[in-house]
């Protein structure tokens, strides 16, 4: 048996896993340790492969959106997003780079916070799936516009 003197006064389990730690790439934690933790916001060390696929899909759809947007603009369309409209008017390559990096950065931020809740109810991971669905709808709409009007 271990004596009380050998134990540390500090209980390491009281603190949640930080966003970045020495276990970020080599850790084992993929879920909450206990059911009660499922109700709290918590980070994990590793992510399931389905999230890698989701991230790649969202970024790919974002690149497709940028490509289709530029094609529609050449055919006489207009950009409804004022920020992106300014970037396109300045330089289309700058538009592509900023759009891709903004999307990738946001998706990575969402991934690292996938087990967090917004407004106490809505999980970030559900927001990621919603973004994916919205991008699919947007791409279908843009393909429809290209096939119909160009």
pLDDT 10s digits, 9-31: 565 556 655 656 655 555 545 55
Domain membership flag for residue 14: no
- Cα dist. 3→13, 14, 23, 41, 59 in Å? 20, 21, 29, 34, 54
Domain membership flag for residue 108: yes
If one counts the domains in the chain, the total is 1
pLDDT digits (tens, 9 = 90+) for 48-85: 899 999 999 999 999 999 999 999 999 999 999 999 99
Domain membership flag for residue 3: no
Of 8 and 148, more confident: 148
Domain membership flag for residue 32: no
Domain membership flag for residue 92: yes
Domain membership flag for residue 96: yes
Q: pTM for the whole thing?
A: 0.76
Structural domain span for residue 72: 45-149
Domain membership flag for residue 82: yes
Domain membership flag for residue 22: no
């Amino acid at each position: 048996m271990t004596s009380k003197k050998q134990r540390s006064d500090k209980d390491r389990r009281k603190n949640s896993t930080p966003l970045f730690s020495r276990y970020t790439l080599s850790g084992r934690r993929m879920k909450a340790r206990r059911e009660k933790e499922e109700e709290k916001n918590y980070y994990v060390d590793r992510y399931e492969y389905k999230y890698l696929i989701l991230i790649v899909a969202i970024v790919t759809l974002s690149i497709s959106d940028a490509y289709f947007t530029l094609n529609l603009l050449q055919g006489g369309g207009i950009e409804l997003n004022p920020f992106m409209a300014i970037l396109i008017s300045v330089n289309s390559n700058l538009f592509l780079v900023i759009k891709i990096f903004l999307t990738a950065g946001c998706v990575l931020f969402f991934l690292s916070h996938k087990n967090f809740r917004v407004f106490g109810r809505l999980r970030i991971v559900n927001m990621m799936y919603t973004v994916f669905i919205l991008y699919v709808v947007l791409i279908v709409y843009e393909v429809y516009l290209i096939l119909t009007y160009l």
